[in-house]
Structure 1
Amino acid sequence: MSTTDSHLNAEWQRPTPSGPSLRKDLWVTLVLAAATALSVSLTRSAGVFTEAPVWQVALWVALITLPLALRRRWPEIVAVTVSVVFAAGAMLEASDMLFSNICLYLAIYAVGAWSRHRVAAKWVRVTIVAGMFIWLFAQLIVQANQLTMMPDLSREGFFSPYAAFGVLQVLINLVYFGAAWYFGESAWKSARNSTALKDSTAALTVERERTAAQAITLERVRIARELHDVVAHHVSVMGVQAGAARRILSSAPGQAADALTIIEQSARSAVDELHTMLGALRGHDAPGSEPTNQSSSTRGIAQLGELADESRTAGVPVRLSIVGEERPIPATIGLSIYRIAQEALTNTRKHAGPGVSTDLRLRYETDAIELEITDDGVGPRRQFGAAVASGASAETTGLGQRGMRERVAAVGGELHLDSRPRGGYLVRARFPLMKRETV
């Protein structure tokens, strides 16, 4: 037996049987008592075990069968009681040849299957089995010296017919007690394994529910981040253009109309992206969820030029430069770069003040790709300080900066946010890439 099994044997206890189970045991015991009484009557009618008075026989039938109704509640006490009554019935010749053995078998089996004290269960069975074999050997020795007992079996020779009879009795009892012991232990282990399986299933169910809840929470965070990036970007563009249109509406109606056109385009773009996002949530097969040509989940480095154009149209000049040899990068990193650039440009329009210009640089390095957005604005800014992707900052930041950190952390990158010494603001995100193989 392994160490784990020994530990389980010492710790686990089989639950006490319920009321319906005990009532079932009572009915089984009553049927067994009736069958034992019938068996004793037939045995006495056949001229065997006729010495005991009827009242002793009736008492013996009651004592060897009725305790079995509690064999699953107090198995050790029942087993000892039935064993003593079994031996007494045989010595008083108040027994039978069949159901007394069935009763003793059930009692020993119940100790193995239902005892909640395994050490006591082992020693109770050892004591019963040892006592029965001592009694058997004593009977064989006594009968060997009594020629009137089974006179047809010769006692002569090294292996006489009587010796063969004795060996046969020993083998029968070995099988009998061995089966009661083995099947009792098997029933107990089966119940233990069944309980362990149920516990494991329950634990897995709880873990699955917890994981599902975490997945839902993470998905909500992701959706909130995407909605913030989409809405904040387009609304900021519309806000800037609406302000410009208001100021020049009377003096330059043509330019005001151009600004209103930009507002309309931004609104349509925002609606398209929201439609795509919500369609993905409903599922590709859901009615009305047809994807657009360019969903938010497929945006990446290729769309940085569009961001720069939108920013220029909104009145904030952007110089876009790409340094290094372009090469494919994972889609998750591409989307993070796009969203961080979008958020940084949105913040520039909102906070940098008038007359600001922005540099948007993308650098391809040997084992990383770096995005850097700088501006020369003079508007009020929050001082976030340097921060790594883990977001280990004690200051309360806006949703935009928090979203940047979450995106960078999700792909194992680093994020730096800080004011520039000469004025303006710096956003730098660095993402590790696998090194390219060299020939």
Structure 2
Amino acid sequence: MSTLELGTAPTDAEPGTPPGTGTTVCGWVRPGPTVRERRADILLGLGMALAAVIGTELARGASSAKVDLGIGGVEAYVLSAATVLPLCFRRRYPIPVLLAVAVLFVVSGERVTFAFAGNLTTQASMFMAIYAAVAWAVDRRLMKASVAVVFIAMFGWLTINFVKALRNNSIEGPNHALFSPYVSSVVLTVALNVLYFFGAYFWGRTAWGIARQQHELEQQAAELAAQQEANSRRAVIDERLRISRELHDVVAHHISSIGVQAGGARRVMDTDPAAAKDALSVIENSSRTAVNEMRQLLGMLRAADPELDVAGTGPKAPQAGADRLPALIAEVNGEGLQVGFHQIGPPVKLPETVSVSVYRIAQEALTNVRRHSTARSAHITLRYLGDAVELEVIDDGRPKHAPVGSRLGHVGIRERVGLLGGESEIGPRPVGGFRVRVRIPLNPQNRPMTEGSLDE
């Protein structure tokens, strides 16, 4: 019979079919029912048992002939209730419940014939047992074997009843239709039973598949969240490491200057005290500037991942700085984006870390415009505000329809500006386009002290 295919289907016939141990091939096993679901099953089973007893009594009253209630006059009621009571554990023990309901279903059909066909509760019990077994069974191979056995038994029982009816000539009728009453009855009964049993099976399989898909979606969401968090952390670390390399250049310049001035002061200390005094003054100012630059970044840079390998970065590029913004703009203009530049206020000498940060922020902002925007033009404005410097990069485009990245560049910009005690504003403009605007104080004494400052 075709139902035998349910038990002999190959492993890949249903995604996640388990091996002999009962664990799924893809590593997923449907979690068992919750306490609330178990309680709901118990209440459902008890309610259906009561409904089955009432249905049996109603069938007895509706019968035109005298009915046999069985042993002690209560067998019919006991069997009706017993057929549905296993459903109290349908999600907790789905396969044993299926087998128990199947046995009681056949016994009830043989012993309580007057109420079997008309008792909807009894009829529903078999459907629910098949559905629960397919939807909740952990061992998928055992489930398929159990369902196949039940199907063979049910259709075999149906066939035996057809044979009995044919021998007893119990299906007769006066109508002269295309098919005889017996053939019509057999076709209708088989069709209804096929819909009944296989409908329960495929409905349960759909429920199991939906549960598995939901689990996979939840797992993917958790993995994406973890990956996004790791990428954000890596972006911050990469930005700190780049700052550390730039800080090395800044401090090395001051230390070299200190060394030169100290050597000169030593040589002229006896012959020209005034020159030695000037050299010592330069040393004092250079060392103070170097300390002020380092104290803003040292504590945060200590938090960078020590396992990252920053060696072998290749040939050293020219030192980045605010004075190199025109060269950056000229480079970008040759790549299909027209960039304007406007400077407001008299230029002043910026601290090295601030100058480098202004260049890096403009570079990152223009890179985002090229990669993730439809903009044809952009504009950079550099404002000298006396005690601070402000950089603004705006464009006239819209985000591309394709995936636009994870905005980790914005994370790096905020990290850099935050380390320097500045403020940042990144987001779409009300009139269209996108804006990146940062303001960085020039006076190191006004910047917030970090945990790892040299005052420790």
* 1:224-373 equivalences in 2 (<5 Å): 224-245=244-265, 247-249=267-269, 251-256=271-276, 258-259=278-279, 262-263=282-283, 266=286, 270=290, 298-299=320-321
Q: What's the counterpart of residue 86 of structure 1?
A: 105
Structure 1 distance, partners of 2:12, 2:260, is 70
Q: What's the counterpart of residue 72 of structure 1?
A: 91
Task: For residue 168 of structure 1, give the secondary structure of its aligned residue in structure 2.
Answer: helix
1:212 Cα deviation from its structure 2 partner: 3.6
Q: Which has the higher contact order (CA 8 A, sep 6+)?
A: 2
1:150 Cα deviation from its structure 2 partner: 5.2
* 1:118 counterpart (119, 134, 140): 140
Preserved contact between residue 134 and residue 201 of structure 2 (Cα < 8 Å): yes
Q: What's the counterpart of residue 237 of structure 2?
A: 217
Amino acid at match of 1:137: T
Preserved contact between residue 105 and residue 180 of structure 1 (Cα < 8 Å): yes
1:195 Cα deviation from its structure 2 partner: 2.2
Structure 1 distance, partners of 2:100, 2:226, is 46
* 2:160 counterpart (135, 138, 149): 138
Q: What's the counterpart of residue 28 of structure 1?
A: 44
Are 1:128 and 2:150 matched, yes or no?
Answer: yes
Structure 2 distance, partners of 1:144, 1:249, is 130
Preserved contact between residue 52 and residue 81 of structure 2 (Cα < 8 Å): no
Structure 2 distance, partners of 1:268, 1:207, is 42
Taking a change above 3 Å as real, the CA distance of residues 219 and 99 of structure 1, as seen in their structure-2 partners, is: same
Q: What's the counterpart of residue 16 of structure 1?
A: 32
Q: What's the counterpart of residue 81 of structure 2?
A: 62
CA displacement 1:19-64 (0-9 Å, x = unmatched): 3321221111111112222222211111179322441122213321
Taking a change above 3 Å as real, the CA distance of residues 28 and 41 of structure 1, as seen in their structure-2 partners, is: same
Once the two structures are overlaid, the 10-residue window that deviates more, 238-247 or 190-199, is 238-247
Preserved contact between residue 9 and residue 118 of structure 1 (Cα < 8 Å): yes
| Structure 2, unaligned runs of 5 or more | 1-8, 19-23, 302-317, 333-351, 354-456
Q: What's the counterpart of residue 99 of structure 1?
A: 121
Structure 2 distance, partners of 1:267, 1:119, is 77
Structure 2 distance, partners of 1:2, 1:254, is 97
Structure 1 distance, partners of 2:147, 2:103, is 13
Structure 2 distance, partners of 1:217, 1:202, is 23
Specify the structure having the higher radius of gyration (Cα).
Answer: 1
Task: For residue 168 of structure 2, give the secondary structure of its aligned residue in structure 1.
Answer: coil
Task: For residue 8 of structure 1, give the secondary structure of its aligned residue in structure 2.
Answer: coil
Structure 2 distance, partners of 1:66, 1:209, is 50
Q: What's the counterpart of residue 344 of structure 1?
A: none
Taking a change above 3 Å as real, the CA distance of residues 5 and 245 of structure 1, as seen in their structure-2 partners, is: farther
Preserved contact between residue 76 and residue 111 of structure 2 (Cα < 8 Å): no
Structure 2 distance, partners of 1:58, 1:265, is 102
1:206 Cα deviation from its structure 2 partner: 3.4
Preserved contact between residue 109 and residue 180 of structure 1 (Cα < 8 Å): yes
1:102 Cα deviation from its structure 2 partner: 0.6
Preserved contact between residue 154 and residue 162 of structure 1 (Cα < 8 Å): no
1:101 Cα deviation from its structure 2 partner: 1.1
RMSD: 3.9
Q: What's the counterpart of residue 417 of structure 2?
A: none
Q: What's the counterpart of residue 321 of structure 1?
A: none
Once the two structures are overlaid, the 10-residue window that deviates more, 217-226 or 95-104, is 217-226
Identity of aligned residues (%): 33
Structure 1 distance, partners of 2:154, 2:215, is 34
Once the two structures are overlaid, the 10-residue window that deviates more, 24-33 or 86-95, is 86-95
Taking a change above 3 Å as real, the CA distance of residues 4 and 166 of structure 1, as seen in their structure-2 partners, is: closer
Amino acid at match of 1:30: L
Task: For residue 9 of structure 1, give the secondary structure of its aligned residue in structure 2.
Answer: coil
Amino acid at match of 2:139: H
Q: What's the counterpart of residue 41 of structure 1?
A: 57
Preserved contact between residue 35 and residue 99 of structure 1 (Cα < 8 Å): yes
Taking a change above 3 Å as real, the CA distance of residues 259 and 178 of structure 1, as seen in their structure-2 partners, is: same
